[in-house]
Amino acid sequence: MSEHLDRMTCEEAFRRLDDFLDHELNPEEMRLVQEHLDVCAQCTREFNFERSVLTGVRSKLSRIAAPPNLLSRIAPFLGRPDPKDAPDADGSA
């Protein structure tokens, strides 16, 4: 009986969809979402579709190699004085 009470509803599982697909939930929540998916065909269908979208977009935005001589072209510029309009080295603009 207590095991049943631990189960998520569709709404609770759906709220965690992004985090579940990105493995950003803690192990207990991952387990609870997975348990819900194991018994809910509609949520499984929706989760699988969202995963498929993410995979498809990721594959289209595949990595792009830098030009082979980019590093060697950068090296001589290292250590030069600050350009006046450049942001700070700590990343602040």
Partner 1 sequence: MQMLSGSDANKAPDASTHASASFEALLAAVVDAAYGYAFRLSNNRSDAEDLVQEAAMLAFRGFGSFEAGSNFKAWFFKILTNCYRSKYRKDRRRPTVDLDDTPDLYLYARSGEVGFPTGGPDPAAMLLDRLGTEQVVAALEQLPDEYRIVSTLYFMQDFSYEEIARALGCPVGTVRSRLHRGRKILQKALWQVAEEAGIVHPSRSVEL
Nearest residue (CB) to partner 1, 4 versus 58? 58
Phi-psi region of 65 (alpha: psi -120 to 50; beta: other; left: phi over 0): beta
Nearest to 10 by CA among 48, 31, 37: 37
Q: How far apart are CA 58 and CA 82, in angstroms?
A: 36
CB of 24 to partner 1, least distance (A): 5
22 contributes a contact to partner 1 by CB under 8 A: yes
55 contributes a contact to partner 1 by CB under 8 A: yes
Q: How far apart are CA 13 and CA 43, in angstroms?
A: 8
CB of 35 to partner 1, least distance (A): 21
Q: How far apart are CA 21 and CA 14, in angstroms?
A: 11
Nearest residue (CB) to partner 1, 4 versus 60? 60
Contacts with partner 1, residue ranges (CB under 8 A): 14, 18-19, 22, 24, 45-46, 48-50, 52-68, 70-75, 77-80, 82-83, 85-93
